[in-house]
Chain A
Amino acid sequence: MHAVGVLEAGFCRAVLITYGHSARSSDSLLKMLTSMNADEAVFGHFGAAAGYALAARRAMHEFGTGPETWKHIAISQRKWANLNPQAVTFCEPMTEEDYFNSPWVVEPFRRADNCLITDGGRAIIVTTVERARNLRHPVVSIMGMGMHNPSAEVTMATHLTGPTGAKVAGEQALRMAGITIEEIDACEIYDCFTYTVEITLQDYGFFRRGEGRDWFSEGTIAPGGRLPVNTSGGLLSEAYQMGLTPLSEAVMQLRRCCGMRQLGPETGMKKYPEIILCSDNGGILQTHACYVLRRM
């Protein structure tokens, strides 16, 4: 969104957005965790897993979600990763038994509910559609976008069980795009935890509050499902490249160069996707960005 801002203001012609992190092999994340010294840390509450676990636990109480819902998300995304040779878990299938045998990280999250910690990087370039028409790939445009940041300290937040920023950001993005949610062919959702996928799709309006368990069952978001989600495997099963995991996958799917995991006839869909919705969020559900991309 910042990139579009500086392009629109005329400051730039092409903006490169980069991400990189030696997260798996260095002490970077450990340094972050051990430097957390907020009031809650003395009670053992610190880090993203604990913050999202707090939100997820509250959601279990309020609308009856839990591992029976999240297992569908973890397993479906793993099925996508098993079709993506670039995914870190390409060769590691996940059964329901595997999911429930996965060890606790912070209850109610098992390791299978947590995103991967990976070394690696990802980058994208944003420019005008006019310029893009003279470049080598089919044009993937930003049809709509929105941002909403219901920011508050997680321990005082009122939005843990929704609506998160996804609601307003999603409405803004769809309004700009001039489409309804029914026109979305697939989603690439920022999935730091399985619960994040559930609450984000719920707040966008794909299903009603608490209806996720039924909605996710029967492979809705898995290969061959009616709304494919996180088709690279996502942060849970491909690699952690922050918001660029979802965005880059949406672009590649719309370009139709995703090999075995390509949405379309390759994975049992009637047609190739034309419109894909992407999300990113930061903090503990404190900031949210939504993008609608399409192949022009």
Chain B
Amino acid sequence: MKDKYAIVGVGYTPQGKLPGRSSLSFHLEAGVNAIQDAGIDPKEVDGIICYRHFPPASGEKDVTPYLVAQHLGLKPTYLAQDAN
């Protein structure tokens, strides 16, 4: 599989101390920015993996890849939690 796959998009968000922002909002902003950075049609994104994560904060929902897909308006064929 050498040189068969590539990392084509990188998405950043503001980082540091940002009170009032939910974990989900960071997933979404980074995701949108990665898609824009790659310059691909969002419809082309047919897999979503949410990185291994921490317990949700009080008042926040647990971030699942399904939630990320819904908010980004994507309909992926593959969803998974926990990458490495």
Evaluate contact between B55 and A125: CB separation under 8 angstroms.
Answer: no
Evaluate contact between A7 and B5: CB separation under 8 angstroms.
Answer: yes
- CB contact under 8 A between A18 and B6, given known A12-B76, A280-B84: no
The count of chain B contact residues (Cβ–Cβ below 8 Å) is 64
- CB contact under 8 A between A20 and B27, given known A15-B49, A119-B17: yes
A residues 76-90 in Cβ contact with B at 8 Å: 86, 88
Evaluate contact between B58 and A31: CB separation under 8 angstroms.
Answer: yes
Residues of chain A lying within 8 A (CB to CB) of residue B27? 18-20, 121, 123
Evaluate contact between B16 and A125: CB separation under 8 angstroms.
Answer: no
> Which of A57-65, A152-160, A239-247 lies at the interface with chain B?
A239-247
Evaluate contact between B55 and A121: CB separation under 8 angstroms.
Answer: no
A residues 14-44 in Cβ contact with B at 8 Å: 14-29, 31-32, 35
Query: Please, which residue of chain B has its CB at the minimum distance from the CB of A249?
Result: B10
A-B contact count (CB 8 A): 257
B14 at the interface (CB under 8 A from A): yes
A270 at the interface (CB under 8 A from B): no
Evaluate contact between A120 and B48: CB separation under 8 angstroms.
Answer: no
- Residue in A2, A125, A176, A287 whose CB lies within 8 Å of B40: A125
Residues of chain B lying within 8 A (CB to CB) of residue A119? 15-19, 21, 26
- Complex Cα–Cα for A178 and B1 (A): 11
Evaluate contact between B3 and A17: CB separation under 8 angstroms.
Answer: no
Residues of chain A lying within 8 A (CB to CB) of residue B24? 20
A residues 135-150 in Cβ contact with B at 8 Å: 135-137, 139-144, 147
Evaluate contact between A131 and B48: CB separation under 8 angstroms.
Answer: no
A260 at the interface (CB under 8 A from B): no
A8 at the interface (CB under 8 A from B): yes
Evaluate contact between A19 and B51: CB separation under 8 angstroms.
Answer: yes
- Complex Cα–Cα for A293 and B74 (A): 28
Residues of chain B lying within 8 A (CB to CB) of residue A280? 84
Evaluate contact between B34 and A123: CB separation under 8 angstroms.
Answer: yes
Evaluate contact between A287 and B84: CB separation under 8 angstroms.
Answer: yes
Evaluate contact between B8 and A127: CB separation under 8 angstroms.
Answer: yes
- CB contact under 8 A between A121 and B29, given known A6-B78, A131-B8: yes
- CB contact under 8 A between A11 and B78, given known A20-B26, A125-B40, A127-B5: yes
A/B interface sample: 6 pairs, CB < 8 A: A12-B47, A22-B21, A86-B15, A139-B6, A140-B6, A248-B10
Interface residue ranges, B against A (CB under 8 Å): 1-31, 33-35, 37-40, 44-58, 60, 63, 68, 74, 76-78, 80, 82-84
